[in-house]
Amino acid sequence: MTVCFTGHRPQSFVFGFNEQHPDCIQIKQDLQEEIQRLIGAGTNHFLCGMAQGVDTWAAEIVLYFKQIYPNIHLTAVIPCPDQPKKWSLKSVERYHKILAACDHQIMISPFYYRGCMHARNKYMVDHADIVLAIYNNAGSGGTASTILYAKKQNKTVIELLV
């Protein structure tokens, strides 16, 4: 069984990039509990879009569980090589550390174009059985669009509302 992640970037949360904020800690804990539940239910493959925020946290949690359950796999689904181009040095280093630990990497496009993030999200939904979303219930944006697409594709969508 394969699960992909979708969720907000740090800027969409009140705590921004402060991962020590109690709300961020709670989101990560909820995400960890849900990933552990999914592994217990037979999930052995995870797809991550490698964006900042939810994608990064989910990838790090999967890599943690990979140490305990070596049969699980993490695939980085990268929209384009320039994805971390405007990120801080610390975020770029974190991105490359996660990439190095992934079992597979899939590059959607060899260059950035306006719809490459959407194409990445579509690819992940198309190749997943379950979509795990960390979501604030806003009706617009990339996460909302991904959830809507997943539901139209009759995928199971687990929404952890924040």
In the chain, the largest separation of any two C-alpha atoms, in whole Å, equals: 39
State the pLDDT at residue 161. 84
Check if the beta carbon of residue 48 is closer than 8 Å to that of residue 75: yes
Residue 49 falls within a domain, yes or no? yes
- Determine, yes or no, domain membership for 126: yes
For residue 55, give the CATH number of its domain: 3.40.50.450
pLDDT band with cut points at 50, 70 and 90 for residue 10: confident
- pLDDT band with cut points at 50, 70 and 90 for residue 22: very high
Whether residue 21 lies inside any domain: the answer is no
Least confidently predicted of 100-114, 127-141, 143-157: 127-141
DSSP line for 41-105? TT--EEEE---TTHHHHHHHHHHHHHHH-TT-EEEEEES-TTTTTTS-HHHHHHHHHHHHH-SEE
* Residue 159 CB neighbour total at 10 angstroms: 15
- Residue 34 above 80 pLDDT? yes
Give a yes or no: residue 25 inside a domain. no
Is the CB of residue 53 less than 8 Å from the CB of residue 42? no
Mean pLDDT of the chain: 95
Q: How many domains does the chain have?
A: 1
In this predicted structure, the answer to whether residue 138 has a pLDDT above a threshold of 80 is no
* pLDDT tens sequence across 44-78: 999 999 999 999 999 999 999 999 999 999 999 99
| Mean pLDDT in residue range 26-43 | 97
Q: What is the pLDDT of residue 140?
A: 74
In this structure, is residue 1 part of a structural domain?
yes
Owner of token pair 């999967």: 62
Domain interval for residue 69: 1-6+36-141
- pLDDT of the residue at 136: 81
Share of the chain above pLDDT 90, in %: 89
Token code pair at residue 7: 């969720």
